Structure 1
Amino acid sequence: MAMILAQAVANDFGRMGLGIGIGLIIVGAGLGIGRIGGSAVDAMSRQPEAGGRIQTAMIIAAALIEGATVIALVFILLCRAA
């Protein structure tokens, strides 16, 4: 009986950790992309002639953050399946 209870508790903590992990990843990515966007707009307002280069750098940085987010989510979902 104690073994069944221990397994149930372990599974529930695992699911809770999965939810917390996914939430932290999404919040971190959102904050990072928001900060990149805000900084890019601020930089473009100070130097309008460099807007194209700043926008390109912003898109590349946001794509790198999104890539890391997707990889982290895949790892979490693979850990859930194991």
Structure 2
Amino acid sequence: MQPTFVLVHGAFANSFSFAPLQAELGLAGHRSVAVDLPGHGFAATYPRAYQMPQDPEGLATAPGVIKGVTLADNAAHLIGVL
């Protein structure tokens, strides 16, 4: 049985950044899965203040979607995926 490469992004990224690597791995006959950590990828959302027209006061107070997400949350998510 061949291994599956599990690709996990760092801060300020998402699973989409692994697309070129996954293509190359696939061409070499390897399986891979790219995981989005909580608040990243399709789960990323932006407060209304971030959209045009921007609201500077709202930008200063609107929490990001990953506010409160901890390393333990990321580890638990990855364990759930595995």
**Superposition TM-score tier, normalisation by shorter sequence:** 0.3 to 0.5
Larger Rg: 1
Q: As a proportion of its length, which structure holds more helix?
A: 1
Q: Which has the higher contact order (CA 8 A, sep 6+)?
A: 1
Q: TM-score, normalised by structure 2?
A: 0.34
